Each structure stands twice: as structure tokens, then as C-alpha cells.
């Protein structure tokens, strides 16, 4: 068994990713989140050390979004200050959801899937991240997947941005089976929920496998809730996720270095073939 997990292709894109990706919502936002325990947003030094560790462990995907508070800006500032840091990462970005802090300090999301806003959002993310291109850009759905796809033309906008060279691949973070399949009709990747507690979107995985499309998994540990019970819920979760051949990458949103190490070790175990 290799020391680090091998990179996996995102079907049809030419992009190779580590089985685990690092979610960065906790880099920039601790309001209005669904994690079971409260957390403090890490400082720049803690983020750099976490990124260094993730790189050492073979992780090459960073998942970020405008809805993740200051995550994009903080990453971009670190990329600017640390030579060569940006080149280590496949960035999975988002468009469509915005997050603002409310008077009660809880935060509020709102959505805009118009062509004008998507173009603005991508250009803003490129500037925030201090980069010329974002490898993967996903529409951040509010749950009304099919109507968003059919009525806004959002995936056509991302396809145009791909032709312009501002992104390399496109897709949608969906919440329904119908939406996931509809997204894969037009785009490269669907990001779906799939874990021990929720396997309702498995038909999207099957569709992706049959049609050479990419799959990213969100909430592999049910936002941490699945890890509160069972003998080894992390390993069981990853065996489920990577038991389906369509899966390229599962996004894990930890800021705890030890949890990151444990997750990568569990991933190696989940991917290892019996002797």
C-alpha cells in the first residue's frame, strides 16, 4: 500500500485530484453553520500549517466559495505571500450563493444565478484568490436544482467561461437526484451528498459512472454528525463513499490537524485492496 492515496481522474476533464479534498468554510465563517460543535476560525499561521500538512499527506484539492465568509480572500492573501503555494492546489470554487453577516451576528445566505452575477462572481473569485484560472467551478444550488438549471442558464454561462479559459471544468453542487442528473447532462461534475445517513442521491453516482462524468462528495461525514456514533464511523463512511467507482473526491471540512491525519489514514484503509 502506498504512503499517500493515489490521485484520481475527474472523468472527462483531464484533472487529477486526491481522494480527499480540504473544505475551507471554517477558514472564513463560523456563523450559520451546521457542525455539531462550535469552533474558532483559525489564524493565518494555523491555516498555513494545515495547508502544509494537507500537502504532505497528498491532498491537492481546496474547496471554497463566496458563501464561506472570508475564505477566498484569506486563501488569496496566503497564495500571494507564500511562493509556490497556489500551484499545489486544484481549487473547487462556487457561484450562486452569497453570505452576509446580520445584525444578530448569525449571517444570512442569499442566491443569484443570473448570468451577470455568475460572471461577476467568477471574476471576483479570481481576484480574491490571486489566480488566473480556477480549476473547477460549481453552481451553489439552493435546492431548486432543476429550475435553476432550466431557467437561469447558469451552466451555459460556466461553459462560456470555460471556453474563455477562466475555469477548466464546471458543474453544480446539487441537492436532488433530478438536479444532479440534469447538471451532468450539461457539465463535467456534480457534487452530491452521500454518507451513512443519506444515500438518496446514489442514482446520480450511477448516472455519472455510465456517462463518464465526475462526482465530488459533500457531507461524507454528515457535517460531523455521523462521527458521533459507531465503532469506526470515519472508516465506514469512506468505505461507502469510495465503494462507488464514480467518486473522484470527497470534501472534508476539518481545521484540526489530527483529524486530517486520521481522515487520510482512514482513506488509505478504505481504498486498500484486501491481500
| CB atoms closer than 10 angstroms to residue 197 | 12
Pairing label, strands 61-63, 90-95: parallel
Q: How far is CA 227 from the centre of its chain?
A: 19
Q: Which one is catalytic: 68, 120, 194, 207?
A: 68
What three-state secondary structure class fits 199? Answer: coil
How far is the C-alpha of 65 from the C-alpha of 71, rounded, in Å? 7
Is residue 259 packed enough to be buried (19+ CB in 10 Å), middle (13-18) or exposed (0-12)? middle
Bridge partners (DSSP) of residue 216 are 191, 249
| Residue 68 is a catalytic residue | yes
How far, in Å, are 84, 222, 235, 238, 271 from residue 198 at the CA level? 39, 8, 16, 13, 21
Q: Phi, psi (5° rounding) for residue 203?
A: -55, -25
Q: In angstroms, what is the C-alpha Rg of the chain?
A: 17
By annotation, the residues acting in catalysis are: 68
Amino acid at each position: 500500500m502506498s504512503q499517500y492515496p493515489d490521485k484520481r481522474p475527474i472523468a472527462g476533464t483531464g484533472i487529477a485530484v486526491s481522494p480527499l479534498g480540504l473544505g475551507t468554510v471554517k477558514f472564513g465563517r463560523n456563523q450559520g453553520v451546521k457542525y455539531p460543535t462550535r469552533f474558532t476560525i483559525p489564524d493565518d499561521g494555523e491555516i498555513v500549517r494545515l495547508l502544509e500538512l494537507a500537502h504532505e499527506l497528498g491532498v491537492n484539492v481546496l474547496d471554497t466559495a463566496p458563501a464561506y465568509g472570508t475564505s477566498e480572500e484569506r486563501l488569496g492573501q496566503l497564495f500571494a505571500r507564500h511562493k509556490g503555494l497556489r500551484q499545489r492546489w486544484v481549487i473547487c470554487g462556487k457561484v450562486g450563493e452569497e453570505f452576509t453577516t446580520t445584525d444578530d451576528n448569525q449571517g444570512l445566505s442569499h442566491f443569484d444565478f443570473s448570468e451577470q452575477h455568475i460572471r461577476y462572481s467568477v471574476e471576483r473569485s479570481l481576484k480574491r484568490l490571486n489566480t488566473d484560472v480556477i480549476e473547477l467551478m460549481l453552481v451553489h444550488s439552493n435546492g431548486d436544482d432543476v429550475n435553476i438549471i432550466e431557467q437561469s442558464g447558469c451552466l451555459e454561462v460556466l461553459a462560456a467561461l470555460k471556453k474563455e479559459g477562466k475555469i477548466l471544468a464546471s458543474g453544480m453542487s446539487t441537492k436532488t437526484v433530478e438536479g444532479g442528473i440534469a447538471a451532468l447532462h450539461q457539465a463535467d461534475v456534480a457534487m452530491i451528498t452521500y454518507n451513512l445517513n443519506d444515500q438518496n442521491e446514489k442514482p446520480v453516482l450511477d448516472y455519472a459512472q455510465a456517462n463518464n462524468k465526475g462526482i465530488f462528495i459533500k457531507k461524507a461525514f454528515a457535517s460531523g454528525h455521523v462521527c458521533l456514533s459507531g465503532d469506526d464511523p470515519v472508516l465506514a463512511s469512506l468505505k461507502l463513499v469510495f465503494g462507488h467507482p464514480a467518486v473522484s473526491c470527497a470534501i472534508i471540512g476539518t481545521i484540526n490537524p489530527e483529524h486530517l491525519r486520521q481522515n487520510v489514514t482512514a482513506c488509505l484503509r478504505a481504498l486498500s485492496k484486501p491481500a
